[in-house]
Amino acid sequence: MQVIPVRTTDQLGAFIRLPWSIYRDDPNWVPPLVRDVRSAFDRSKHPFHEHSEVQAFLALRNGKPVGRIAAIRNRNHEKFHEEPVGFFGYFECVNDRAVAEALFDTAAGWLRQRSLRVMRGPTSFSTNETTGFMIEGDGGPPMVMMAYNPPYYNELAQGYGFQEAKTLVAYWIDSNIPPDFLVRAAPLIEKRYGVRLRPLRMDRFVEELATVRRIYNQAWEKNWGFVPMTDAEIDHMAAELKPIVDPNLALFVDTPDGESIGFALGLPNFNLVLQRMNGRLFPFGVLKALYYGRKIHQMRVVALGLVEEYRGKGIDGLLYLGLIQNGTARGITECEQSWVLEDNLKMRGAIEKLNGRVYRRYRLYDVDL
């Protein structure tokens, strides 16, 4: 067995296609779009490479791919948190401790050469994207942009010496009937603070993106693991998500003078479509996306937050109510809210008042370098 750095187009192709062999007998796995993964590792296309470094590695046994990993140096994380932490991501591996140890050793060595003292993961490329190993939860496919893995990945990580860094929870809400207290409180809150709810304005998309970035970087800056997104990263993510964004599920709260002070984003669970496309948009993937996209009945609440001075006033209830009502109008009957830090008790309490229940847990691990 050997672990090699991914340098060539063919090696990258093998890196991308490896999950098809790992999950070939798993009916819940959702194949990613091959073009999206290829784009992520293209330094000319993904803006993460403008400020940070990534190196992909492939484990081969007798020339056959049996594992993969990406070593990630996120300089923006180092700068924002003032800590020498590196990351690993895109981990996939056969159930073989020797292969996993070789992959972790290789990523650790790459990070150690850059004077980083902790390896954390999995995350790709930052906590703004897919994060964590699933450690427990209900069966079924993952929601859009959420992690999925065989249970033995956690055993491989723990066997290597990884320790818990943070646990994340996902909530499930299987009712689209808003609680009475939300319905009663909404008009009172609007009247008291003069705020109003509005959908994303697609005709002013660029301006709206700037507003999202401002709110996101203010509302989430004190969260564990938060890393500010650059303008280019916001633009890149928006371009990827724009085809599936419903403007009525991308909601803002505005003050009387028109300043946006809160934002929530619910994404229709496009994984229900991706499962049928096998990683390809062509030749028939577009037709499948159009057909099955109309049948999506689930959404994931990806983000919901207010700038600090407007918290604790019940204004977040307007965002929750708007997502429920607008989601119902487009046929959404089930919802996941994720992810939430396990120790973020305020956010968890708010979701539990909406009858949300924790149905999956994920974990980020650290190992000392």
pLDDT tens-place string over residues 207-226: 998 999 999 988 888 888 88
Q: Which of 255, 262, 170, 257 is nearest to 219 (CA)?
A: 262
Place of tokens 């296609």: 17
Confidence of residue 335 (pLDDT cuts 50, 70, 90): very high
168 and 342 in contact (C-beta within 8 Å)? yes
Dihedral class, residue 84 (left if φ above 0, else alpha if ψ from -120 to 50, else beta): beta
Asked if the model's pLDDT at residue 289 lies above 90, the reply is no
* Of the candidate ranges 60-64, 146-150, 206-210, the one whose mean pLDDT is the lowest: 206-210
Asked if the model's pLDDT at residue 257 lies above 70, the reply is yes
For the residues 17-37, what does the mean pLDDT come to? Answer: 95
Residues 6+ away with beta carbon under 8 Å from 229? 128, 213, 216, 217, 237
Asked if the model's pLDDT at residue 144 lies above 80, the reply is yes
State residue 288's pLDDT score: 55
Confidence of residue 305 (pLDDT cuts 50, 70, 90): very high
State residue 285's pLDDT score: 54
137 and 170 in contact (C-beta within 8 Å)? yes
Rounded Cα gap, residues 103 and 101, in angstroms: 5
Share of the chain above pLDDT 90, in %: 78
Q: Which of 113, 83, 136 is nearest to 5 (CA)?
A: 113
Residues 6+ away with beta carbon under 8 Å from 367? 104, 108, 118, 119, 160, 161, 162, 163
For the residues 224-251, what does the mean pLDDT come to? Answer: 88
Confidence of residue 24 (pLDDT cuts 50, 70, 90): very high
280 φ, ψ (degrees, to nearest 5): -125, 135
Confidence of residue 16 (pLDDT cuts 50, 70, 90): very high
pTM value is: 0.92
Asked if the model's pLDDT at residue 368 lies above 80, the reply is yes
194 and 255 in contact (C-beta within 8 Å)? yes
Confidence of residue 27 (pLDDT cuts 50, 70, 90): very high
Both structure tokens of 128? 């703004």
For the residues 256-278, what does the mean pLDDT come to? Answer: 90
State residue 238's pLDDT score: 86
Q: Which of 122, 129, 151, 156 is nearest to 366 (CA)?
A: 122
269 φ, ψ (degrees, to nearest 5): -70, 85
Give the Å distances, CA to CA, from 149 to 16, 26, 115, 242: 15, 10, 30, 27
Rounded Cα gap, residues 175 and 197, in angstroms: 22
Arithmetic mean of pLDDT over the chain: 93
Asked if the model's pLDDT at residue 254 lies above 90, the reply is yes
Asked if the model's pLDDT at residue 293 lies above 70, the reply is no
55 and 69 in contact (C-beta within 8 Å)? no
Rounded Cα gap, residues 140 and 96, in angstroms: 25
Give the SS3 label for residue 27: coil
Asked if the model's pLDDT at residue 283 lies above 80, the reply is no
State residue 106's pLDDT score: 98
Both structure tokens of 248? 């009525």
Rounded Cα gap, residues 76 and 231, in angstroms: 13
State residue 80's pLDDT score: 94
For the residues 162-191, what does the mean pLDDT come to? Answer: 95
Query: Which residues make beta-bridge pairs with 136?
Result: 361
126 and 77 in contact (C-beta within 8 Å)? yes
Give the Å distances, CA to CA, from 366 to 59, 87, 320: 22, 9, 34
Give the Å distances, CA to CA, from 118 to 69, 85, 368: 16, 5, 5
Of residues 258 and 70, more confidently modeled: 70
267 φ, ψ (degrees, to nearest 5): -105, 125
Give the SS3 label for residue 334: strand
At position 254, the amino acid (one-letter code) is: D
For the residues 95-112, what does the mean pLDDT come to? Answer: 98
Both structure tokens of 181? 């207290």
State residue 217's pLDDT score: 87
Asked if the model's pLDDT at residue 284 lies above 70, the reply is no
Give the SS3 label for residue 308: helix
